[in-house]
Amino acid sequence: MNEATSPKRVALVTGGIGGLGSEICRQLAQAGRQVIAIDLAARDERIAAFRQEMADVAGTVTFEPGDISDFDNCQQLIARIEQQHGGVDILVNAAGITRDASLRKMTPQQWHELMQVNLDGVFNMCRNTIDGMTTRGFGRIVNISSVNGQTGQFGQTNYSAAKAGVHGFSMALARETARKGVTVNTVSPGYCDTPMVAAVAEDVRAQIIAGIPVGRLGSPADIARAVCFLAADDAGYITGANLPVNGGYFMSF
């Protein structure tokens, strides 16, 4: 779907150069959006590789370094982007980390580091973009949750809590903004072909893949497709929803 006929919407994607984020950037750009990938400052080679990956949508995807776990950093970054581009229309919170350990071994640091990125990061970005969206009367927020926020996973009390929290946050914000043209939804990926999943022990990963009805890991493109659907101009009646994209790994209604 190309929405180039609509005003050129500005989209921010956190974790924008990461496993899921870069494909989300590409598909949003292909849909006619001006995309800004936000991620931690990375080495020059990594940024160059990202630019190369985005060669087919060059000019419509740019990179901005930013630390989403830091409120002041988000505030300054978004103020600057709003000044340069006139506002943020679409926000995709795709930045996320794992700090897997069973609870009996989990350190407070593993708990807090994860919360600062996976949950505080969503607050920091939404808090600093929401007034602009409601004032202009248009916004699409898509927060990336996880199947493991729906089911829990052994070794992920921190991650599962944060990802379930992301959906609770999204439903609450959806109610606050529904009358202002701003929708807030979550996408809950299952296990995807990303470095995050590649880091899981091979035997554990093989067992997980065996339990996916579709019979394979998800691709970043599978997730990006769902994000673009929810971020579309004509998706204004879908809000507070969770869209699972997990190959049938967890089915519910």
Sheet holding 90-93, edge to edge: 61-65, 34-39, 10-14, 90-93, 139-144, 182-189, 242-245
Binds ligand CAA by CB under 6 A, chosen from 41, 48, 204, 206: 204
- The residues annotated as belonging to the active site are 159
CA distance 96 to 115: 9
Among residues 40, 196, 212, 238, the one that binds ligand CAA under rule CB under 6 A:
196
| 200 near ligand CAA (CB under 6 A) | yes
Torsion of CA 42, 186, 100, 253, to 10 degrees: -160
Site for ligand CAA in 90-109 (CB under 6 A): 98, 100-102, 104-105
Tell the residue number behind the tokens 């709003």, with chain if given: 82
For residue 129, the one-letter residue type is T
CA–CA gap between residue 131 and residue 123 (Å, rounded): 13
Q: Going residue by residue from 133 to 172, which x/- string records binding to ligand CAA, judged by CB under 6 A?
A: -------------xxx----xxxx--x-------------
Count of residues in contact with ligand CAA, rule CB under 6 A: 21
Q: Choose between 63 and 159: whose C-beta lies nearer to ligand CAA.
A: 159
Query: Residues interacting with ligand CAA, by CB under 6 A?
Result: 98, 100-102, 104-105, 146-148, 153-156, 159, 189, 191, 196-197, 200-201, 204
